[in-house]
């Protein structure tokens, strides 16, 4: 029976020749990731009453949400997690200063391979679909179950295929494309579904950009989101996981899709877009928003804190100063990216422009430290959520955009098109 990527992976993981949408299967889990909420998982795990986790080699724990600890409560959580991983022999533990944002670290350290079933106690675990994995977020209690049994039930999702042809225009990025798609489909437009991205635009994208697509697919409700496991991915993994076998999972040509969406990027995406408060599907072109004043600009997160994101921002900022009203916060997604950005001079460029560099981690994305917004403030951010109070006061407003739009807006002091910012600010 012809199958989609999601169906093939779930069939294999549940030991069946084939599966169909809506069937419930019990799949073995290849990789189980947690961050600070490992503390919650640990508590549920202790309540269940087994002594040892099912497989310490398949558990990865990465501290990222509140690093370094911003309060005594968090410090206590971190400590409890350290003690737990030591007691259980969990070697894949990335402590403060050793990793960065969980989704970035998991991939750059070569933990994720095509065909895997990956679960994480974080909704943006969909990111790992850019590595060909069936990767999805689960809650802490459910993770305690995975730690106990190494398996989990899934309802086989139906698949939406999104083919993006044409070419992305200058200054239009993967972030703009996925925000555009979410704007079209709505914040529950892919609820419970798998998404397969393909087409010329996707094939030419970097692995980093594909991670942005898979990451944000969560914001239209997707359970998993795949980009092709092609030569580009093979090259990336050859460096990151040299010992691993590369076994891409391709959809069958006559696989059954719930829906096929075709997008001509050259025609449909004339310019960069922004997701306006307070939902990710409230998407508008940048040129319609240029009267919105910006008080804080954030460049970072699991969506857009990678080297190519810092590079585009550094190019725009080079030789210029951030607008006096704006605080520009830059958060390299991992220690590795941070170091690379130093070597390439991006960090110096951004510091000279007046940016503040935060340590690698989630930073202000989740609204707990390092860049909280006051009432009445607007933030342009390369992160992935603009919900009420996400980054601070319930009366603050978060606008989601690409790294280029964030940098351009930081210079202009209002939401701005990267192409125009040069003329306007430096005339």
Partner 1 sequence: MSRILTGRVAAVLPANIDTDIIYPGRYLNITDREKTAEHLFELAYPEVRAAIQPGDLLVAARNFGCGSSREQAAAAVKYAGVGAVIAASFARIFFRNAINLGLPLVVSPEAVERVREGDVLELDLEHGVIRNHGREETYTAAPLDPRAIELIEAGGLVPHLKRKVMAHA
Residue ranges binding partner 1 (CB under 8 A) = 24, 36-37, 39-40, 43-44, 47-50, 65-66, 71, 73-74, 77, 120-123, 125, 137-142, 144-145, 148-149, 153, 187-188, 191-192, 221, 223, 279, 366-368, 385, 387-390, 394
Q: Is 366 an interacting residue with respect to ligand SF4 (CB under 6 A)? A: yes
DSSP secondary structure string, 296-316?
A: EEEE-HHHH-SHHHHHHHHHH
CB of 128 to ligand SF4, least distance (A): 12
The closest alpha carbon to 176, from 363, 402, 387, 405, belongs to: 402
The closest alpha carbon to 406, from 345, 323, 341, 342, belongs to: 323
Question: Are the C-beta atoms of 305 and 337 separated by less than 8 Å?
Answer: yes
User: What values do phi and psi take at 152, rounded to 5?
Assistant: -155, 150
Instruction: Mark the segment that binds ligand SF4 (CB under 6 A) among 15-23, 319-327, 344-352, 359-367.
Output: 359-367
Scanning residues 83 to 102, which ones bind ligand SF4 (CB under 6 A)? Answer: 101-102
Task: Name residue, tokens 């960069």.
Answer: 272
Q: Is 372 an interacting residue with respect to ligand SF4 (CB under 6 A)? A: no
Instruction: Mark the segment that binds ligand SF4 (CB under 6 A) among 72-80, 223-231, 276-284, 362-370.
Output: 362-370
Instruction: Mark the segment that binds ligand SF4 (CB under 6 A) among 90-98, 150-158, 347-355, 358-366.
Output: 358-366
Q: Is 122 an interacting residue with respect to ligand SF4 (CB under 6 A)? A: yes
What is the Cα–Cα distance from 400 to 378, expressed in whole angstroms?
Answer: 11
Question: What residue 139 binds from partner 1, ligand SF4, none (CB within 5 to 8 A, per partner kind)?
Answer: partner 1
What is the Cα–Cα distance from 379 to 397, expressed in whole angstroms?
Answer: 6
Q: What is the dihedral of CA 237, 241, 247, 248, to 10 degrees?
A: -30
Closest CB to ligand SF4 among 164 and 310?
A: 310
Q: How far is CA 91 from CA 12, 50, 60, 156, in A?
A: 27, 20, 8, 32
Question: What residue 101 binds from ligand SF4, partner 1, none (CB within 5 to 8 A, per partner kind)?
Answer: ligand SF4
CB of 317 to ligand SF4, least distance (A): 21
Strand partners, 159: 194
| Residues in touch with ligand SF4 (CB under 6 A) | 64-65, 101-102, 122, 124, 301-302, 362, 365-366, 383-384
């Amino acid at each position: 029976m012809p199958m989609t990527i999601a169906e093939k992976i779930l069939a294999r993981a549940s030991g069946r020749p084939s599966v169909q949408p809506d069937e419930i299967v019990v799949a073995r889990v290849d990789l189980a990731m947690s961050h600070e909420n490992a503390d919650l998982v640990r508590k549920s795990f202790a309540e269940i009453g087994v002594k040892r986790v099912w497989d310490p080699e398949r558990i990865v724990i990465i501290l990222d949400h509140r690093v370094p600890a911003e309060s005594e409560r968090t410090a206590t959580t971190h400590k409890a997690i350290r003690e737990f991983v030591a007691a259980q022999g969990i070697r894949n533990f990335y402590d403060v200063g050793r990793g960065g944002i969980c989704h970035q670290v998991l991939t750059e350290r070569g933990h994720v391979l095509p065909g895997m079933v990956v679960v994480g106690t974080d909704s943006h675990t969909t990111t790992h679909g850019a590595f060909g994995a069936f990767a999805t977020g689960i809650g802490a209690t459910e993770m305690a179950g995975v730690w106990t049994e190494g398996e989990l039930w899934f309802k086989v999702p139906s698949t939406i295929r999104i083919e993006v042809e044409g070419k992305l225009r200058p200054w239009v990025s993967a972030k703009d494309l996925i925000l555009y798609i979410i704007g079209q489909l709505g914040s529950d437009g892919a609820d419970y579904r798998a998404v397969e991205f393909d087409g010329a635009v996707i094939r030419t994208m970097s692995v980093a950009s594909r991670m942005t697509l898979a990451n944000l697919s969560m914001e239209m409700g997707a359970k998993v989101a795949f980009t092709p496991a092609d030569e580009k991915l093979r090259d990336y993994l050859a460096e990151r996981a040299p010992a691993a076998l590369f076994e891409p999972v391709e959809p069958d040509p006559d696989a059954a899709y719930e829906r096929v969406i075709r997008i001509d990027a050259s025609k449909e995406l004339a310019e960069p877009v922004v997701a306006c408060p307070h939902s990710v599907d409230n998407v508008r072109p940048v040129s319609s928003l240029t009267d919105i004043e910006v008080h804080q600009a954030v460049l970072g997160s699991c969506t857009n804190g990678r080297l190519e994101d810092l590079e585009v921002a550094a190019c725009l900022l080079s030789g210029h100063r951030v607008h006096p009203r704006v605080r520009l916060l830059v958060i390299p997604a991992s220690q590795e990216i941070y170091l690379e950005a130093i070597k390439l001079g991006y960090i110096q460029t951004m510091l000279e422009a007046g940016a503040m560099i935060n340590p690698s981690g989630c930073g202000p994305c989740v609204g707990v430290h390092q860049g909280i917004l006051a009432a009445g403030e607007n933030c342009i951010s390369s992160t992935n959520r603009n919900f009420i109070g996400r980054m601070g006061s319930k009366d603050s407003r978060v606008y989601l955009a690409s790294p280029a739009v964030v940098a351009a807006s930081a210079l202009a002091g209002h939401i701005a098109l990267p192409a125009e910012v040069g003329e306007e600010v430096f005339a």
